[in-house]
Chains A and B, each alone.
Chain A
Amino acid sequence: MKLKGKVFKYGDNVDTDVIIPARYLTSSSPEVLAAHCMEDIDADFAEKVEAGDIIVGGKNFGSGSSREHAPLAIKYAGVACVVAESFARIFYRNSINIGLPILECPEAVEATEAGDTLEVDIDQGIVKNLRTGESYQAEAFPPFMQEIIKDGGLIEHIKKVGV
C-alpha cells in the first residue's frame, strides 16, 4: 500500500486528551470524533485537514488514556497514516487493531517540516520526503502484527482464524 499526503507536524508526547478531548467522549460517532480531532493542540485542524494527509509526531505519540477514540478520530478525519519517532504502547496496539497505518521512523520525523509532502510505502516501511527527495527506512512490524494489518484489523483477523 502506497500513500501520499501533506504533513501536519507536532512535537513530543502528543497525548490522547489533545487528540480527542474527553468532553466529546459521550459519543463515538465518526462525525463527532473527526470534527474535534486535535482540537486542543491545533484548534482548526478539522477544517484544514484533507483526506490522505499525514500526521508526523515526535516521541511517545498517543500517550495517556487508552481511548480508541483517539486513533479513530485521526482515521475518521481522513488522515492516511501517522509517522512518529515512537508511539505510546496502547495507541500503538489500538492503531494496529483498528487498521490505522502507523510507522516509527525517527530519521524521517527529524527531516520533515509541516507542509512537506511524504510518500509512504506501508508494506516496505519506506518514507520518502518529496521536498528533499530523501528516503528513510522505518522499523518493520513483527509478522504477527503484519498479519493483523493485512486482515484489516483485529476483529477481521479473529473472524478469519476463529475464536
Chain B
Amino acid sequence: MGMTMIEKILAAHTEYDELKPGQIVNAEVDIVLGNDITTPVAIEEFNKIGVETVFDKDRVVIVPDHFAPSKDIQAAEQVKMLREFARKHELTNFFEIGQMGIEHVLLPEKGLALPGEIIVGADSHTCTYGALGALGTGVGSTDMAAAMATGKAWFKVPPTIKFVYTGELQPWVSGKDLILYTIGKIGVDGALYKAMEFTGEAISNLSMDGRMTMSNMAIEAGGKAGLIEADDKTVEYLKGRAVRDYNIYQSDEDAEYEEVIEIDVSQIEPQVAFPSLPDNTRGVSEAGEVKIHQSVIGSCTNGRIEDLRAAAKILEFNKIHPDVRCLIFPGTQDIYKQAVNEGLVEIFIEAGAAFSTPTCGPCLGGHMGILAEGERAISTTNRNFVGRMGSPKSEVYLSSPAVAAASAVKGYIAAPEEVIK
C-alpha cells in the first residue's frame, strides 16, 4: 500500500520506513518556531527541563509579531524576555523590529521552511508551510519548550482528506475564496485531527502566495496540516532563499485517503465568511447590504505582495468611503519595500488608507485597529470569532483582499466588479 505525503514526511523523521494513521511517533523536527505570546511561556517551561541550551541554535526561530512593535509595557517585557533568551542561546534566527514580519509570511520568504521538513510552531497557523510541501503544524508553548530542548515532538499520524480542485478560476477569485469555500463546505471541524491535501489543476495554477493563503487556513477546518506537493513553482520560489537542501515528497498513486472531495472552482464566486465562524460562508453576491466601519488588509493569510497588488488595483483612482477606516499591513519588510517600489503605497495613501509596518495588530484584537462595540469589519484575516478584533459586541467578516478593498470604497460589503467595471 502506498503512503500519503504526510505519512512519508513523518516516516523520514523517525526510525520507521512506513507509517499508518493512528500510530504515535516521536519525530525529529527541522524548525521550532515561537512568537511574542507563546514563547515567554515556553521559555519558562524550557528552563524547568534543566538543559544547558537549545538543540540547535540555527533551528529555533523566534519572531515578535503579535503585539510588536510593543504596544505597551507588558508587551515590551515579553519581547525583552525573547531577546535575552535569543542572545543567551546565540540564536541565529531572532527577528528584531526592522527585520521582523508576520512569522508565517517571514519564514518562507527567508527560506527557513522547506519541502519535506517538519516545522512545529507555537502558533496555530504554522500549517501555512504546507504550501511548500512541508509538514508545518501548530503546537503549544510546552511542546515548543520540549522541542527546543530535544529537537523532537510527538505526533499522532493523521488520516488525510484529499481535495481535488478542477476548472478555471473566475475573475477576482483567489486562493482565499477557495479555502473559504472549502471550509464552508466541510465545516470548522471538517478536518479535525486530519491532514488536508490540496491538489488539482487549479492548485497547480495558483501562485505560491495563493497557495500559502490556502494552507494557512487548514486549521480553520480543524486540520493538522494543509499540504500541497512541491512543484516547479515551489522550487523556483525557493531559489536563492532556501537555507538548506531539501527533499520533495509526493503522495503515492495508491495512497490511502480517508476521503476524496472534488470541487469545480469555475462555479465559485468571491466568498465572505459571516460572523462568528469561518465556515459561515456565502458568495459575495448573496451578502446583502452589510455596512462596515473598518477594512483590514494584511495578516499571515493575505499580507503578501500579490494581496497588496489586488487591493491596489481596486483602490487606484478610488477613495475610501468616509465612514470606513482602511488599514493595510504588509507581511514583512521585504514586502513593504516592494510595495513602495511598485507604487502601491502611494495608491493606498492617495485613496485614504493607512499603511503600517508589519504586525499581527488588529488580526487578533491586539492593537492598531481595535473595534468598538457595535462596529463591523471586513478583514482578509483568518478568524471571525466573537471578540477576535476587539469588543465582544463587534463583528468580523472574512474575505479576499479584492473584496475587502472594494468594500472599503463602497462602505458596505461589495464585489470587486461594483468598483471596477
- A residues engaging B (CB < 8 A)? 13, 15, 17-18, 21-23, 25-28, 39-41, 59-60, 63-69, 71-72, 86, 88-90, 93-94, 97-98, 142, 144-145, 153-155, 158-159, 163
Residues of B within 8 A of A15 (CB): 383, 385-386
Given A21-B387, A28-B41, decide whether A89 and B192 contact each other with a Cβ distance below 8 A.
yes
Which residues of B (118-176) have their CB < 8 Å from a CB of A? 121-124, 126, 138-143, 145-146, 149-150, 154, 156
Report 22 cross-chain contacts, Cβ distance below 8 Å, ordered by A residue.
A13-B189, A17-B365, A18-B386, A18-B392, A21-B387, A21-B392, A22-B366, A25-B37, A26-B67, A26-B71, A40-B387, A60-B222, A63-B222, A66-B123, A67-B140, A68-B41, A68-B141, A68-B142, A72-B41, A97-B142, A155-B142, A163-B51
Stretch at the interface among B42-50, B297-305, B399-407, B413-421: B42-50
List chain A residues, Cβ under 8 A from B78.
Answer: 26
**Contact between chains at B385 and A86 (CB < 8 Å):** no
CB-CB nearest in chain B for A28: B41
Interface centre among B75, B123, B149, B392 (most CB of A within 10 A): B392
Other 8 A-B pairs with CB < 8 A, given A28-B41, A144-B154? A17-B365, A21-B392, A39-B392, A67-B140, A68-B38, A89-B192, A89-B193, A144-B24
- Shortest CB-to-CB span from B324 to chain A, Å, is 23
Are B224 and A89 interface neighbours, CB within 8 A?
yes
B376 contacts the other chain (CB 8 A): no
* Residues in B whose Cβ lies below 8 Å from that of A67: 37-38, 140
Q: Which residue of B lies closest to A156 (CB)?
A: B48
B188 touches A (CB below 8 Å)? yes
Which residue numbers of B lie inside 8 Å of A, CB to CB?
A: 24, 37-38, 40-41, 44-45, 48-51, 66-67, 71-72, 74-75, 78, 121-124, 126, 138-143, 145-146, 149-150, 154, 156, 188-189, 192-193, 219, 222, 224, 277, 364-366, 383, 385-388, 392
* Shortest beta-carbon distance from B132 to chain A in Å: 20
A159 touches B138 (CB 8 A): no
A41 engages B386 (CB within 8 Å): yes
Q: Are B150 and A158 in contact (CB under 8 A)?
A: yes
Query: Do A63 and B387 have beta carbons less than 8 Å apart?
Result: no
A22's partner among B122, B123, B364 (CB-CB below 8 A) is B364
Q: Which residue of A lies closest to B34 (CB)?
A: A66
Decide: B139 and A93 in contact? CB cutoff 8 A. yes
Residue of B at shortest CB range from A26? B74
- In contact, A18 and B387 (Cβ under 8 angstroms): yes
Contacting pair B149 A158 (CB below 8 A): yes
- The CA of A13 and the CA of B383, in the complex, are separated in Å by 13
**Residue in B49, B126, B141, B385 whose CB lies within 8 Å of A18:** B385
A66 adjacent to B146 (CB under 8 Å): no
Give the 10 A-B CB pairs with smallest separation, nearest first: A26-B74, A94-B140, A68-B140, A97-B142, A60-B189, A66-B124, A40-B387, A22-B364, A40-B392, A66-B138
